Structure formats: C-alpha cells, structure tokens
Structure 1
Amino acid sequence: MKQYLMTEPGKIETLDVAVPGDLKDNEVLLEIQRIGICGSDIHVYHGKHPFTSYPVVQGHEYSGKVIKVGNAVTKVKPGMKATARPQLVCGQCNPCKRGQYNVCQQLKVQGFQAPGCASEYFIVTEERILPLPEELSYEQGALVEPAAVAAHATNRVADLTGKNVVVSGAGTIGNLVAQFAVARGAAKVLITDFSDFRLGIAGICGVHEVANLKTEKFSDAVSRTFGAAGFQIGFEAVGAQSALNALVGNIENGGSIVIIGVYEQHPVVDMGFVGEHELNLFGSMMYKQEDYVEAIKYIAENRINTSALITNHFPAEGFLAAYKMIDQEADKVLKVMIDMK
C-alpha cells in the first residue's frame, strides 16, 4: 500500500509498505477515505511544531471504511463508516486515572509523536473508534476531529446560555467553536479575523457577527456587537500574542478565556491585570470520547455546518501540493481535504 512520509520539513516521500496483516482482538482495519489538513500539520510542514520530530507519517483528521475487525470488536463491523481519536495514552498516570486522558502525561498523538493515517490502510483500536451514521459523508466524517476540539473547548467554561462570546480567529477551529457557541445557546457570538473570506464563511455558518481587524478595532467591534453588555467568554483560536492581548484587555471583569491556539512562541500575559480583574484562563487540549460523540451528533443533526468549511480537494499524491497551496493562498483557504480514494 502507499504511505506518505514527511522525512523532514517541506519534504514528503511516497513509500510502498505492506498492508497490515493479522489483527489483534481489539483492532480495526480501516481503508482511509478522507484526511483533513489542519494548522498543526502546517506547523509540522514548516518544522515549527514544538512536539514533532522527523520522519513522521501525518494525518489525524480522517474518515474511513471498516474493512476487517478483530475477534473481540463489537462497536463496528466491515462496511461501516468510522473515524477514531488519534490519542495514544498510558492509562496509568493521575490524569488518565481521573478520566482526563486527553492530558495524559505520556500522551502521543498520531500524526505528530506517532505514525498518523496517511496510508491507504490504517489500524486503530476499538476503544478509540467511533462509528459514523451512514448518512454522513466521508468529508463530514473527517471533520469530526476538529468539531470535537470545538465541542471540548466550549465545554471548558460554564454554561454558555445567554452569554456574549468572542472567538478570535475564523479558521476551521475558530469557526467550529463559534458554531458550537451558537448551538449551545450563546446570546451573541462575534468572530474576528483579518480575512474577509474566512469571515464570510463564518456568516454562512450562522455565526451572529463578524469583524475584520484590518478595518475595525477589536474594542470597536465589541462595542458595536454587544454595546454596554460587553462579553463574558472569549476563545483564543489563533495562537497569536495580539489575539490574546485583545481578549484579556477587553473582556468583562470576572470573565473566562479559553486558550485553543497553538503558539509558535511563548506569549506574554499580564498576570497582574488577570489577577486584578479576576479573569479565568482555561487551557483546552484536544478532546475526549464524549466530545467526538457530541460532534457526530451535532453534525448529523445539521446543528454544525461542515460543508461550507471545505475549500479544496487534493488527491493522495498531492499532500505537498496542498501544503504549498495553503502557504500561497492562506487567506482564501479554510479546510483542505486529501481524497485518499
């Protein structure tokens, strides 16, 4: 089978490797159908992901067709559509024991610290697999992973019902976070970015208000959207110092900010200001199984729009071309899909 290996930043080789053979009792063999490229993959492409070494097989947002199952597998059967969490955890550390395996102290993520799914066939274990409703497309299935990130992030804070929310960054994750905030009953959701293209897609997806920070100050956009009520919840989905500063400096006293973005450089936070205004800063790391379940449910119920996010398709041999296109046309691209079949 074909496998796509990033041997060093900016270089991908196509390998011919053996199709996986006999399965363990708890294993499932998937024929990979679609793989989504995300911002973290781009960090790896540029050699700037802080926790990835080379060579590495990428791919962690995916959908596939079940081909074969181990003797003890009951969740899925051959012919079904499925996806799976890419987290490999120890099960023994304190976070794992208390159910926070998403922050396992020995966490490895397939596509980064362990081989990902950029192969024609891929083995996953039953405890990480999730069957997809037959009515979902393989494209929707590949977007369950980023939707699960958004599901988890929007559950990191208290009930969003009736709250005013700002999301910094209208990329795929920011868009999905904003959609989940709307779906969870937020009063108003404002999403900010520097790209009219991305903000336009956010509008298509039902986000209440948008602001292009090239032409409008953050504080002005907040005032225009919320008036004197301000906002109580912020989500930082960019990984940029300026976005973090804007949220910290403008949120209501006592408000909560969730950090989702991946920072290439360590940001500086005025902790004196945070303490004086009793702000709450929350980290959000990936997801758990229940977040995947919720993401699938919301997508299947059309409460989350994924089709509007897909802007480009490339064949399996086009990984490198896809990365180059994303670099060259960043402000015109949202979710790029690799069609493995």
Structure 2
Amino acid sequence: MRQAVMEAPGKIRFEEVAATPPGPGEVRIRVRRIGICGSDIHVWHGTHPFTPYPVIQGHEFMGVVEAIGPGVTGAPPLGAQVTALPQIVCGKCNPCRKGRFNICENLKVRGFQADGCGRELYNVPAERLVVLPDGFTADQGAFVEPVSVAVHACRRAGDLAGRNVVVLGAGTIGNLIAQVARASGAARVLIADVADHRLDVAKRCGVDHAVNTARQPLDEAAAIAFGAEGFDLAFEAAGAEGSLAAAVSTIEKGGQVLIVGVYGRPPVVDMSVVGEHEIVLAGSMMYWREDWEAAVQLLSSSVTIAPLVSRHVPFAEWPEAYRFIDANGPATMKVMVDL
C-alpha cells in the first residue's frame, strides 16, 4: 500500500509498504477521502508545537471497511462506509475517569502525536468507528470530524434556542459553528471575519448575517443584526486577539464567550471587563462520541458543505494541496485529498 510520510516541515515522502493485517480489536479501512485542516497546515509549516517528525498526517477522513481483526464483535459489515475518532486516551487520568476523554491528561491525536490516515489502508480500533449512512458522499464522511468540533462547542454553550449568537472567524470551523448554532435553534447568527470570500461562503451556507470587521466594527454590525436585544453568546473561532477583545467588549453583561480558535501567541484580555460584566470565558476542545453521532445527523439534514470545498487533489499530489492553500490564503476553505 502507499502512504504519505511527512519527514520534516514541507517535505512529504510517498512510499510503498506492506499492508499490516488488523490486530486484535481492530478494523482495517480503505481510505477514500481525507480533509486538510488548519492544524495540518501548521504541521506542514513546522509551527505545530506538539507534532514530532516523521509523521503520517490525516484525521478527517472517510473510508470503507475492508477487513476485521480477531476479537471484534458488532463491527459494521465489510464495505460499510465509516470514519473514526482520532483520539488516543489513557482511560486512567482524572478527566478520563470522569468521562471527559477529550481532555485526557495524556491525549494523543492520530495525525499529530501518532500516525494518522494518510495511507491507502488504515487500521483503527473498532470502538472508535462511526458508521456513516449509505447515501453519504465521501466529502460528507470527511466532514464529520470538523462538524463534531462545532457540535461540541455549541453543546458547551448550553441551550441555544432563541439566543442571538456571534461567531468570530468564518473559516471552516467558524462556518460550521454558525450552521450548527442555527440548527440548534439560535434566533439569529452573525458571523464576522476580515475576508470577504469566507463571508460570502457563510452566506451561501445560510448564515443570517455577515460582517467584515475590517470595514465595520462588531458593535455596529451587532446593533444592525440584533437591535436592542444584543447577543449573549459568542464563539471565538479565529484565534485572534482582536476578535476576542471585540467579543468581550461587545457582548451583553453576563454573556458567554466560547474559545474554539487556536492562538499563535497568548492573547491579552481585559479581565476588568470580564469581571465587572460577569462574562463567562470557556474553552472547547475537540469532541465526544455523541458529538460525532450528532454531526452525522446534521450532515444528513441541515449542514451544507458544498460551498466549503475549495479543491480536490489526488493522493499523490498532497504537497500541492498545501502549496495551493498557501498561495490562495483566505480564498481557500477546505481542500480534499482523494484516494
């Protein structure tokens, strides 16, 4: 089988290796589609702080079951479409014992601290599989992982029914958070970014309001979108200090700001405003299995992904995908690798 090994930043080697039979408790998947996310790009650039080299990338994927290892019970049938959670957890630390495996003290993620799905055949523990509907496209299957990020973030915020919501950052995750918030009953959603292309994609995905904060301040846009009601929930999905500051200064007193973005350096936050206004700052990290199951349902019903897919590249041209992303910047959303 072929696999793609990132030997060092900016260097991917394709190699032919013997396929390994699935071990006890494992299922072998023939990979069909892989999505590239922002963290993958950091690995390509050598700026991901927790990824050693060499590494086989890939954690957003869809494939079909090809073989079942010994001791597996209740596995999907051969040929079934599946994806799989990429977390490797210890099961022993305090968060794990409390059922919060997404924040395991010893968490490893396939594609980063462990080898991922960037290969033709991929063995994963059967317990990590998520079965996809028969009618799912390969792109939908690869989108289950990022949609799960959005689902988990929205669930962290509690009941969204009737609430006005601001999403800062209109990249793939911000876009999906906005869509999931709408599907979860939010009254109105305003998405903000400094890239017109991303805002146009958000509108094509059905997001209510969009603002380019390079041209209009967030408080003015919120007043237009929500009127005197304002908003009491914001998702910071840009990983930008300015976006976080705008959320804290604009949200109503007692509001909640969920941090989903990844920051290149620690942001400065006006904690005097946070304290005096009783603003709740909370983080959101990855997902739980139930988030994946909800993501599958949302992709089957209300989450639109077609406008998010910027390009498909063959597996053998994976480096070209990164060069395309670097060359096109904010005009690129999701690039898919086809096997």
Same fold (TM over 0.5): yes
SS in 2 for 1:155: helix
Partner of 1:132: 132
Partner of 1:171: 171
CA distance in 2, matches of 1:158, 1:81: 31
CA distance in 2, matches of 1:30, 1:204: 33
Partner of 1:251: 251
AA aligned opposite 1:93:
C
Q: Deviations over 1:14-58 (max 9, x none)?
A: 12222112x233111000000000111111111111211211111
SS in 1 for 2:19: coil
CA distance in 2, matches of 1:59, 1:286: 15
**How far did 1:91 drift?**
0.5
Which aligned pairs between 1:182-193 and structure 2 lie closer than 5 A? 182-193=182-193
Structure 1 alignment gaps of length 5 or more: none
**How far did 1:70 drift?**
2.1
**How far did 1:218 drift?**
1.6
Partner of 2:152: 152
**1:68 touches 1:77 (CA, 8 Å); kept in 2?**
no
CA distance in 1, matches of 2:330, 2:91: 41
Percentage identity across paired residues of the two chains: 49
Which aligned pairs between 1:222-301 and structure 2 lie closer than 5 A? 222-301=222-301
Partner of 1:16: 16
AA aligned opposite 2:298:
Y
Partner of 1:310: 309
CA distance in 2, matches of 1:19, 1:111: 18
Partner of 1:141: 141
**How far did 1:209 drift?**
0.4
TM-score by length of 1: 0.97
Partner of 1:322: 321
CA distance in 2, matches of 1:252, 1:315: 47
1:202 aligns with 2:208: no
**How far did 1:164 drift?**
0.6
Q: Deviations over 1:107-141 (max 9, x none)?
A: 00001111011001101111110010010011100
AA aligned opposite 1:58:
Q
Partner of 2:338: 339
CA distance in 1, matches of 2:36, 2:158: 31
Structure 2 alignment gaps of length 5 or more: none
Partner of 1:33: 32
**How far did 1:219 drift?**
1.6
Partner of 1:112: 112
Q: Deviations over 1:243-288 (max 9, x none)?
A: 1111111111100011111111111222222111111111100001
SS in 1 for 2:265: coil
CA distance in 1, matches of 2:73, 2:308: 33
Q: Please give the root-mean-square deviation of Cα atoms over the aligned residues, in Å.
A: 1.0
SS in 1 for 2:4: strand
SS in 1 for 2:145: helix
AA aligned opposite 2:173:
I
Partner of 1:52: 51
Which aligned pairs between 1:92-107 and structure 2 lie closer than 5 A? 92-107=92-107
**1:49 touches 1:264 (CA, 8 Å); kept in 2?**
no
Structure 1 stretches of at least 4 aligned residues deviating more than 6 Å after TM superposition: none
TM-score by length of 2: 0.98
CA distance in 2, matches of 1:125, 1:53: 23
1:75 aligns with 2:75: yes
SS in 2 for 1:33: strand
Q: Deviations over 1:175-199 (max 9, x none)?
A: 0000000001111100011122111
CA distance in 2, matches of 1:77, 1:106: 32
**1:146 touches 1:173 (CA, 8 Å); kept in 2?**
yes
Partner of 1:89: 89
CA distance in 2, matches of 1:260, 1:157: 12
Aligned length: 338
AA aligned opposite 1:57:
I
CA distance in 2, matches of 1:252, 1:49: 35
**1:75 touches 1:131 (CA, 8 Å); kept in 2?**
no
